[in-house]
Amino acid sequence: MSKITDRFTHFSQEPLYNTKAVVQRTGVAADTLRAWERRYGVPFPERTEGRQRAYSDRDIAIIDWLRQQTESGLTISQAVALLQTDSIIEQPTYDLAPLAELSNDCVQALLSFDVLKAEDILNQAFSIYPVETVCIEVIERVMVAIGDGWHAGKISISQEHAATAFMSLKLSNLIHQARTRSNRGVIVVATVPGEQHELGVMMVALFLMRRGWRVVYLGSNLPASELLHTVQRLNPKLVALSATTKDNYSQAVHLLQELHNVPKPPIIGYGGAALSGTTQQTVLPGIFLGYNAGQACDKIEELLA
């Protein structure tokens, strides 16, 4: 197993960025950066002739990693110790019962078209739990409950569309905040042609960005020819595709085969309800990534290790 510090060795150490640029890219406040530097010696930027701090791509990657660890529940001192010693610190466990209550409350707020209340509920969850936990234990559960209600005829199309639009906007904002100029590698993420459901694949893109990958997210219902052109142009390390409805299964099979046949094909991963059956996993070209965004990201990092 590679050491934690190994993930930063390929980043440039050339001091290129001032503090403002680092704040914009990592979301870590300038005062926090200086406090970490004083107390823990991390990061340790070089100084210009005018005594201004100058950070490298490696500094930015380390800062972003520390931010992710503190958001997952570690103290900054634990995160720095983990970075410096490569020891394993037991990750905190969370009581998920309050999340189930928040999920139920969010469903009721969205069914009442009360987006302000739904926003307050999600903000409350994000203030307590890591982003990934909220996405899987609240957002995903909310949308499954609303989808099941719609299929059962208990929820109107308007309610389902309003809830989907709300969650899509929330995830889009999180993706925007998570973007980084990491050199860790390019991953292309998209749905198959014809697929309109993208919340799950948006979570995959978000989680990968928060782990330091450069993700090119192409959204839903992209024509196969466009996706193939983009893959050949970018030469990504991996392409991750999603299909949730059975109607799109044949499109998924065709696209996976086309990707498999391109010159120097990338690693191909797939997920979504339409592709998650045991039979599909044995016959489809590519690798099944898991049943939720967290599993998908773990599998992707395992494939790219």
DSSP letter string, 65-120: HHHHHHHTT--HHHHHHHHHH----PPPP---HHHHHHHHHHHHHHHTT-HHHHHH
- Class of CATH domain 97-177: mainly alpha
**H-helix or E-strand spanning residue 186:** strand 186-191
- Low pLDDT (below 50) residues in the chain: 1-2, 87-91
Give me the residue label for tokens 């609240």. Answer: 138
Q: Which has the closest alpha carbon to 207: 174, 164, 243? A: 174
With beta carbons less than 8 A apart as the criterion, state whether 142 and 164 touch. Answer: no
pLDDT at 188: 96
pLDDT at 249: 87
Q: Give dist(CA 80, CA 70) in Å, integer.
A: 10
pLDDT at 90: 46
Q: Which has the closest alpha carbon to 195: 233, 241, 151? A: 241
What confidence tens digit (pLDDT) does each residue in 255-285 have?
999 999 888 889 999 998 888 887 777 888 8
Structure tokens at 239: 């392409």
**For the chain, where are the alpha helices, taking DSSP H only?**
19-26, 30-40, 57-71, 76-85, 97-111, 115-128, 131-134, 140-151, 157-178, 199-210, 224-234, 249-261, 278-283, 293-304
Structure tokens at 166: 């709300």
Decide: helix, strand or coil at residue 285.
coil
Q: 138, exposed or middle or buried, with CB in 10 Å at 0-12, 13-18, 19+?
A: buried
* In CATH, 179-304 is 3.40.50.150: no
pLDDT at 233: 93
> Of 3.40.190.10, 1.10.1660.10, 1.10.357.10, 3.30.1370.160, which CATH number belongs to 4-85?
1.10.1660.10
pLDDT at 216: 94
- pTM (2 d.p.): 0.69
For residue 212, CA distances in Å to 57, 140, 186, 198, 217 come to 11, 23, 10, 21, 14
pLDDT at 190: 94
pLDDT at 91: 47
Domain spans, the chain: 4-85, 97-177, 179-304
